[in-house]
Amino acid sequence: MHTTQEKYIKRFGPLRIAEHWLNALTFILLVVTGLSQKFHNYELSQWVIMSFGGIDTARLVHRYSGIMLAVLTLQHVLVASFGVIALKWQPSMIIHKKDFQDAIANIRYYLGLQEHGASCDRFDYKQKFEYWGVVVGGMLMIGTGLALWFPTIVTHYLPGELVPVAKALHTNEALLAVMVIIIWHIYNAIFSPEVIPLDTVIFTGKISLSRMLHEHPVEYRRLSGEPPAIAEPQAIYEPGDYQVPAEEETLQDA
Ligand code: HEM
């Protein structure tokens, strides 16, 4: 819960915010134009396709949005690699042993077997799961999408069986991605009791101090050098797990 007196801390810069908007819009376009082709018998799909001006335009929009997704994914991988290697950003999405311990700690907490839930760093294990799902799933959609787009080039170098395999992967991963986004991401970002009616952090770039202390106490302590001001759950982490503070990570008032 936020109060009007609440202090806010900077969490994301304008580039991260723009990247999220672009990814969200591209994903929506791909889902709408892709699923309306997959389920073309439905009246809603016919309406969507006709709203795009017919099947040819809908297919074109799908392919150009696919290029957009490829560009976004490539720039993300390049920027993240450059940031971590050259600018010494903290690789905050790397999965550690502590993430598994955190998941177990939270399950034990929900079952009433321990007094406190996990105490997490910049991104918790659920956020890392979603992030890697988007990155790996995105690469799979890009690879299989290109194989469907250019089957003659692909089969010039690789066995022809790859095209139906690409089609099966593309169409089923699309359904999986939609379900994960609707059930997991939208729940966490909109309907979870902790954020309802909307988690605004990725739009404003600011997080309230109380949420920071509750959701990312390890990051707060690492950046501020202070112990969290509220009762903190038992941190389960090895002291050398978190090394180089990220350049972009600063504990600034927003
Ligand atoms: C999250 C991303 C994506 C989703 C959810 C998605 C979804 C879909 C779906 C549901 C279909 C219909 C499959 C069927 O008829 O069974 C499809 C077809 C297709 N997709 Fe994607 N797709 C995505 C990304 C891409 C990308 C990145 C590309 C290209 C680089 C691409 C290119 C194609 C092509 C070429 C087809 C065949 C239909 C056509 O000829 O236009 N897709 N997609």
Give the torsion through C-alpha atoms of 240, 81, 202, 219, to 10 deg.
Answer: 10
Measured in whole angstroms, how far is the alpha carbon of residue 236 from the centre of its chain? 24
pLDDT for residue 5: 73
Outline where DSSP puts E strands in 95-229.
206-208
pLDDT for residue 236: 39
For ligand 1, whether the C-beta of 134 sits within 6 Å is: no
**CATH number of the domain at 8-89+125-215, please?**
1.20.950.20
Residue percentage of the chain with pLDDT more than 70: 87
pLDDT, one tens digit per residue, over 107-142 is 999 999 999 899 999 999 999 999 999 999 999 999
pLDDT, one tens digit per residue, over 142-193 is 999 999 999 999 999 999 999 999 999 999 999 999 999 988 999 999 999 9
227 three-state secondary structure? coil
Cα angle 26-27-33, degrees, rounded to a multiple of 5: 90
For ligand 1, whether the C-beta of 174 sits within 6 Å is: yes
pTM above 0.75, yes or no: yes
For ligand 1, whether the C-beta of 133 sits within 6 Å is: no
* Domain boundaries, given as residue ranges, for the chain: 8-89+125-215
- Distance CA(13)–CA(203), nearest Å, equals 10
Nearest ligand 1 atom to alpha carbon 35? 10
Nearest CA to ligand 1 atom 35: 149
pLDDT, one tens digit per residue, over 42-52 is 999 999 999 99
For ligand 1, whether the C-beta of 58 sits within 6 Å is: no
- Distance CA(218)–CA(119), nearest Å, equals 7
Measuring CA to CA, which residue among 68, 51, 49 is closest to residue 59? 49
Q: If you measure from the C-alpha of residue 129 to the centroid of ligand 1, how many angstroms do you get, rounded to a whole number?
A: 23
Nearest ligand 1 atom to alpha carbon 70? 27
